[in-house]
Amino acid sequence: MCIRDRAYPRWASSSLCGSGVTHRMGMCAAQILALSALDIIEKPVLLKTAWEEFKERKAQQDEPPLLPDGLKPPVELRWPEWVTRPGDEWWIPPR
């Protein structure tokens, strides 16, 4: 990986899974997630157990959302001027 004959900074390679080691770690994580999903599909009792553990832990330490209930997203705002991407000339008009 390089930009004009320069290597990406280490943090960029790691965050993008661009180097050999970080790519292998990303592939390993993907395999673990996929195999865990298969375990849950094949053995539904695992899902039930996981939900029970989740509810138990949530009861011990629950953090409420930081945003107030019923907050509407500000869809009437345009994209910031520094954002350039295909389709940036359109925006969602207010209702």
Distant-in-sequence, close-in-space partners of 94: CB < 8 Å, separation ≥ 6: 75, 76
Residue spans of the domains in the chain: they are: 2-58
Whether residue 1 has pLDDT greater than 50: no
**pLDDT at res. 10:** 66
**What does DSSP assign to residue 87?**
T
Read off the tokens for 16: 């993008």
Higher-confidence position of 75 and 63: 63
Strands 2-3 and 6-7: antiparallel
- Compute the average pLDDT of residues 1-6: 57
The reported pTM is 0.46
Mean pLDDT of 59-72: 89
78 or 62, which is more confident? 62
The pair of structure tokens assigned to 46 is 């695992």
Judge whether 10 and 4 are in contact, CB under 8 Å: no
pLDDT (tens digit per residue) in 12-51: 666 665 566 767 887 889 999 999 999 999 999 999 999 9
